[in-house]
Structure 1
Amino acid sequence: MGMKCIGVDVGGTSVKIGLFEVTGTLIHKWEVPTRKEEGGKYIIEDVSNSILKVLEERGISLDEVEGVGMGVPGPVMPNGYVEVCVNLGWRDMYPEREMSERLHGLPVKSGNDANVAALGEMWQGGGKGYDDIVMVTLGTGVGGGVIIDQKIIAGKHGLAGEIGHMHIRDDETESCNCGGVGCVEQVASATGIAREARRKMAALDIPSVLREYGDNVTAKDVLDAAKAGDELACMVMEVVGRYLGLTLAHISMTTDPEVFVIGGGVSKAGPFLIDNIYKHYNKFTPISQNKSKILLATLGNDAGIYGAARLILD
């Protein structure tokens, strides 16, 4: 019997849990609902109980488990302290300690969910075989994670990899939910792409299939239309590609990873999106032809549990 490890990905609506071989093979995955009431105080208890139950059902003793890794939606300090997790209601917590106590002293390590997803992609996903990757997750928001020498770079204040909140756009007037203006997230997230499309429809009178959707237009509508050659949608994606290319160029000049891995719902657009980013990324990095490649993430929604499990193996 090989040793096992467990990955926990705490989300706003559900907590995903995976049981792995330490070699990286996923044995079993399941979910428990995220109970946010009373400041999210039941989450750790629910997850711990669920883990103990699954281990018991599968006849796995705690001695066979290296430990549990956990991704949480907010900054995690190096000592495991979580000041605030807005989406969970957590404040002033040490979730690792609490979970370890409930799991009879099993080691527990935690990290920010986007950083942890990046680690998962490095271990068993789109970044497999590389030691230095930067992952950019294009979902409802834009997340990021920086991995150097197979380790998460969290930074001294937990802000490393907050790629979504880099300021890249000077002509933006609306505020981002972080309080800043002109963030990557405002133009390259699913929400941002849809907003860009609404703006273009209002500003220009060129015909477009997007007009059928009106204010309900989604990022997927935009990407599908752009792939089919719709002029307005292509203009939207030109803006998105330009700012993503610029963002990756800035990161290249700072950390120069081996590869960028692009994930999140928007990355389902596949090579069309990657080619669009490359065009602008290359334009902003004329200094060298020898630079980071841009690849697609492959683990989808499982990146978090893979990365969380990998956390505990260091």
Structure 2
Amino acid sequence: MADKKLIGVDLGGTTIKFAILTLEGEIQQRWSIDTNILDDGTHIVPDIVDSINHHLSLYQMDAEDFLGIGMGSPGSVDLQAGTVTGAFNLNWKTLQYVKRDIEAGTGITFTIDNDANVAALGERWKGAGENEANVIFITLGTGVGGGLIADGHLLHGVAGSGGEIGHVTVQPNGYLCTCGKRGCLETVASATGVVRVARDMAEEYSGDSKLKATLDDGDEISSKIVFDLAKANDPLALMVVDRVTNYLGLALANAANLLNPAFIVIGGGVSAAGDFLLTRVDKAFKTNTFPNVRETTHLRLATLGNEAGVIGAASLAKTAVNG
């Protein structure tokens, strides 16, 4: 048993990342392939099976060497059935029998969960979560995702929507979200949300600002540009960052007041702004937390980067077998 390995798979819209890990979470081999979403995504699962089998042959290993395969996937995941639906960035328009097909193709036990949950497991096990039993993970990317770990277990909720921190309301009657309701955290704190806030604030701003001049000229901006300009003391960019971090701090404070985790770990592309982001979010967080929570729950930046998904997926596989 001690010699068994784990396989972690991180399924994304552009690439699929793979890793072979020890039971202690040490990565021994890594590789990736392009995600082929053509033909309603019908190539994705066969490509995963072929890639795993090819690499096991390459490393002179077979199914008996592995405790299991874990995978994080976009979309709505049925944990028991091992199916995925609604993963539109994969072009999956119908129910996908991922567990059935990957187990049949590899001969290895397979477990699957939502990609944000899996990244949460990775950061908790080998990243900023320090393997604490209570950790919240939030990822700030194109959207805002999250994972809640309480007493060592992921919280899924009755229909798998536990941890949808991106859809916490932070601005009643605010921007319309892709989910259909208004004022979600995702509408202001995702990469696209930061740009939306910047555009609206620029329309009302009349002072000197490179950010305003860029927008007035019709040039494209990104959340990175907004944060870089704020770091350079652009007055409008600083106002945008203050608004975004206030909303983010409020949402994280509410989550902390409910669960009182040891750490809230912030990952995703927007988190690349680093301590400049973290110190501002922390200020709003402390303003809105219950005193005991304020003293015991701490905000941290994610540390695993692109490896969080495969490490978390391996953790999922290990837990599925060992409990």
TM over 0.5: yes
In 2, Cα distance between equivalents of 1:243 and 1:126: 23
1:37 is displaced (CA, Å) by: 2.1
5 Å-filtered alignment, 1:166-245, equals: 166-172=168-174, 174-214=175-215, 215-245=219-249
**For residues 184 and 135 of structure 1, what CA distance do their matches in structure 2 show?**
15
In the TM superposition, residue 24 of structure 1 has moved relative to its aligned partner by 0.7
Q: Distance in 2 between matches of 1:87 and 1:250?
A: 30
- The alpha-carbon deviation at position 92 of structure 1 amounts to 1.6
CA distance in 1, matches of 2:119, 2:181: 25
Alignment-mate amino acid for residue 130 of structure 1: E
For the residue of structure 2 that corresponds to 1:87, the secondary structure is helix
| Equivalent runs, 1:108-147 vs 2, <5 Å | 108-147=110-149
- Which structure 2 residue ranges, 5 or more long, are not aligned? none
Please tell me the residue identity of whatever aligns with 1:24.
G
Helix, strand or coil at the partner of 2:18 = strand
* 1:176-207 Cα shifts (integer Å, max 9, x gaps): 11112111011001111111111111111111
1:207-286 to 2 correspondences below 5 Å: 207-214=208-215, 215-286=219-290
Superposed CA deviations along residues 249-278 of structure 1, whole A, max 9, x for unmatched, are: 110121111110000011111111111011
Distance 2:282 2:213 in 1: 30
Match of 1:67 in 2: 68
Q: Could you tell me which residue of structure 2 aligns to residue 313 of structure 1?
A: 318
Q: CA deviation at 1:228?
A: 2.1
In the other structure, the counterpart of 2:109 is 107
- 1:81-132 deviations in Å (ceiling 9; x for gaps): 323222223222221111001112x100000000000000011111123121
Q: Find out whether 1:303 has 2:305 as its counterpart.
A: no
2:46 — aligned with what?
45
Aligned match of 2:57: 56
1:286 to partner: Cα distance: 4.5
Aligned partner of residue 47 in structure 1, secondary structure: helix
Distance 1:118 1:213 in 2: 36
Instruction: Compute the TM-score of the two structures, normalised by the length of structure 2.
Output: 0.93
3-state secondary structure, aligned to 1:12: coil
SS in 1 for 2:137: strand
Report how many aligned residue pairs link the two structures. Answer: 312
2-side partners of 1:209 and 1:28: how far apart?
A: 45
| In structure 1, distance between residues paired with 2:70 and 2:287 | 40
SS at 1:313's partner residue?
Answer: helix
Structure 1 match to 2:95: 92
User: 2:167 is matched with which residue?
Assistant: 165
Tell me, in whole angstroms, the C-alpha distance in 2 between the residues paired with 1:42 and 1:217: 35
Deviation at 1:290, TM superposition (A): 2.3
Of the structure 1 ranges 212-221 and 136-145, higher mean CA displacement relative to structure 2 is found in 212-221
Unaligned runs of 5+ in 1: none
| Structure (1/2) with the larger helix percentage | 2
Q: Distance in 2 between matches of 1:266 and 1:125?
A: 18
Given that 1:120 and 1:304 are in contact with CA atoms closer than 8 Å, whether structure 2 keeps it comes out as: yes
Task: Tell me the CA shift for residue 212 of structure 1.
Answer: 4.4
SS in structure 2 at match of 1:130:
coil
Answer yes or no: is the 8 Å Cα contact 1:278–1:294 preserved in 2.
yes
- The alignment partner of 2:77 has SS state of coil
Partner SS, residue 217 of structure 1? coil
Counterpart-to-counterpart distance in 1, 2:130 and 2:260: 17
- In 1, the alpha carbon distance for the partners of 2:306 and 2:72 equals 13
Aligned Cα root-mean-square deviation (Å): 1.4
Q: Which amino acid aligns with 1:311?
A: L
Deviations 1:26-68 (A, max 9, x none): 1121111212122212111111110111011111221111110
CA contact (8 A) 1:119 1:151 kept: no
Q: Residues 146-183 of structure 1, C-alpha deviation per residue, up to 9 Å, x if partnerless?
A: 112332212221101111111111251x4211112111
Moved over 4 A (4+): none
2:288 pairs with 1:287: no
Of residues 28-37 and 297-306 in structure 1, the stretch that sits farther from structure 2 once superposed is: 28-37
Contact residue 82 and residue 93 of structure 1 kept, 8 A:
yes
Instruction: Please say if residues 252 and 291 of structure 1, whose CA atoms lie closer than 8 Å, have aligned partners that are also in contact.
Output: no
